[in-house]
C-alpha cells in the first residue's frame, strides 16, 4: 500500500469548525445565487448553474401573470371539448398577399414580422383581427416540440400567427384588452417529402444562427404556410395567454386540428440555430398549463354521438355562453 502521506491538520477542533463554516457559507450562497434561478426567463434546456435564468416553473418571478389561472398552452382532451355551432370556418382576408419581410432569431424563437394587412374574422371571433407576426416552437431535431398537445400527444413543431384587434397599432396596447389578441396555432407533422412552400424559411435559418441575427426573407404569403381553407374547418377554441413572459391573459386561441407537413430534414433545420449563450435552440416550448375549469370548444368538423343528458348539458352551456361572445 502506498503511503498517503501526512494527513492535513483538519482534525484539529478549530480546523473542523472552519470547514463547517465554509460548507455552511457555500450552502447559503448556493441558495441565494446558485441554481435557484434568477435574471432573464429561459426554457428548461437553457438552464444550468453556469447560466442562471428563470426556467418555466419560475416564470412568475419574471412576471406574476405567468402564475395566472388562464394560462397557455394546454393539453386539449378531445372528449371533454364542447362542439359549438358558432365556430364556423374563419374568413381569411389578404392571406394570399405576398410580402417581403425579415426573419429574426430573437433568442427564444424565430420570428417574422407581417404587414398589418392580413385579417381574420368570423369563426366566433368577436371582431376582425389583423396579423402582426408569426413565430414557431419546436423540439430537438424533430422530436416532440409543440406547445399545445392533443390528448397528450405533442407534435414536432407549432406555428403561432399572432393577430390583434384591427383598430390597435401595437401589441402592447392590444394586450391590455381581455380579447385584444387572437393567435392561430398550427401543428406540424413529419412527412416523407419536403414542403416546398417552407423552403424560403428553412433555407434562411442558416443565416440567423446567432441571437439577434436577422436576414431578409424571400417573398412569402401567410396562405402558403398554412393548410388550404377546406383543411382549416376543424379547430379548438379557448381563452388563454401568451406562452412566453409576460404570459398576458388576453388571447383568444384557435388551434387547428389539421397539421402542416414538413420533412424530418426541414424540422431538424430549426434545431441548428442558437440561444444567446450559443446552446442549440431546442425544446423552446412551454409545458402545458392547468385548465382550471376552462371549457375548450370544438368547431365540430365531425359529427359526434351525444346522449340526451350530454345534449342537455351542452344546451345549458350554450345558453350560458351567449354572454361570452
Ligand X SMILES: *[C@@H]1O[C@H](CO)[C@@H](O)[C@H](O)[C@H]1NC(C)=O
Q: Under a CB-based contact definition with an 8 Å cutoff, are residues 285 and 145 in contact?
A: yes
Q: Under a CB-based contact definition with an 8 Å cutoff, are residues 188 and 158 in contact?
A: yes
Other beta carbons within 10 angstroms of residue 142's beta carbon come to 21
Q: Whole-number minimum distance, CB 96 to ligand X, in Å? A: 14
- Judged by CB under 6 A, the stretch of 22-30, 73-81, 175-183, 225-233 that binds ligand X is 225-233
Distance CA 283, CA 156 (A): 10
Q: Which is nearer to ligand X, 166 or 211 (CB)?
A: 211
Distance CA 220, CA 200 (A): 8
Interaction partner, residue 160 (Zn ion, ligand X, none; CB < 5-8 Å by kind): Zn ion
Q: Under a CB-based contact definition with an 8 Å cutoff, are residues 28 and 41 in contact?
A: no
148 flagged as catalytic? no
Distance CA 232, CA 256 (A): 6
Distance CA 57, CA 8 (A): 44
Distance CA 220, CA 210 (A): 23
Among 119, 221, 258, 295, binds ligand X (CB under 6 A): 258
163 in contact with Zn ion (CB under 5 A): no
Q: Which is nearer to Zn ion, 81 or 244 (CB)?
A: 244
Q: Which is nearer to ligand X, 228 or 307 (CB)?
A: 228
**Which residues in 223-262 contact Zn ion (CB under 5 A)?**
243
Q: Which is nearer to ligand X, 63 or 231 (CB)?
A: 231
Interaction partner, residue 211 (Zn ion, ligand X, none; CB < 5-8 Å by kind): ligand X
Stated as kind and residue range, the H or E segment containing 262 is strand 260-263
Catalytic residue among 51, 61, 108, 135: 108
Q: Which is nearer to ligand X, 231 or 317 (CB)?
A: 231
160 in contact with Zn ion (CB under 5 A): yes
Site track 156-195 with ligand X (rule: CB under 6 A), x = hit: ----------------------------------------
96 in contact with ligand X (CB under 6 A): no
Residue 59 — φ and ψ, nearest 5°? -60, -25
Q: What are the residue numbers of the active site?
A: 108
Residues that bind ligand X (CB under 6 A): 211-212, 227-228, 231, 258, 276
Amino acid at each position: 500500500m502506498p503511503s498517503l502521506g501526512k494527513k492535513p491538520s483538519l482534525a484539529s477542533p478549530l480546523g473542523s469548525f472552519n470547514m463547517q463554516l465554509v460548507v455552511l457559507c457555500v450552502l447559503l450562497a448556493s441558495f441565494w445565487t446558485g441554481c435557484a434561478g434568477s435574471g432573464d426567463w429561459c426554457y428548461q434546456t437553457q438552464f444550468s448553474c453556469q447560466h442562471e435564468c428563470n426556467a418555466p416553473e419560475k416564470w412568475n418571478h419574471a412576471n406574476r401573470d405567468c402564475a395566472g389561472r388562464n394560462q397557455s398552452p394546454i393539453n386539449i382532451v378531445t372528449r371533454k371539448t364542447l362542439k359549438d355551432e358558432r365556430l364556423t370556418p374563419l374568413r381569411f382576408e389578404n392571406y394570399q398577399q405576398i410580402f417581403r419581410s425579415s426573419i429574426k432569431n430573437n433568442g427564444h424563437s424565430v420570428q417574422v414580422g407581417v404587414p398589418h394587412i392580413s385579417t381574420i374574422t368570423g369563426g366566433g371571433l368577436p371582431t376582425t383581427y389583423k396579423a402582426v407576426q408569426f413565430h414557431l416552437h419546436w423540439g430537438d431535431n424533430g422530436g416532440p416540440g409543440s406547445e399545445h398537445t392533443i390528448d397528450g400527444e405533442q407534435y414536432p413543431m407549432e406555428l403561432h400567427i399572432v393577430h390583434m384587434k384591427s383598430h390597435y397599432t401595437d401589441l402592447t396596447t392590444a394586450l391590455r384588452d381581455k380579447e385584444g389578441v387572437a393567435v392561430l396555432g398550427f401543428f406540424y407533422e413529419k412527412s416523407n417529402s419536403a414542403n416546398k412552400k417552407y423552403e424560403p424559411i428553412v433555407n434562411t435559418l442558416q443565416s440567423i444562427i446567432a441571437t439577434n441575427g436577422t436576414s431578409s426573407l424571400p417573398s412569402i404569403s401567410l396562405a402558403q404556410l398554412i393548410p388550404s381553407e377546406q383543411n382549416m374547418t376543424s379547430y379548438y377554441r379557448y381563452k388563454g395567454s401568451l406562452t412566453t413572459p409576460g404570459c398576458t391573459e388576453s388571447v383568444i386561441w384557435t388551434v387547428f386540428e389539421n397539421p402542416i407537413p414538413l420533412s424530418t430534414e426541414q424540422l431538424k433545420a430549426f434545431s441548428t440555430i442558437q440561444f444567446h449563450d450559443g446552446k442549440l435552440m431546442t425544446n423552446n416550448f412551454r409545458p402545458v398549463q392547468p385548465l382550471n375549469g376552462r371549457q375548450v370548444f370544438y368547431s365540430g368538423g365531425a359529427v359526434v354521438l351525444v346522449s340526451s343528458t350530454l345534449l342537455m348539458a351542452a344546451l345549458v352551456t350554450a345558453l350560458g355562453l351567449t354572454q361570452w361572445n
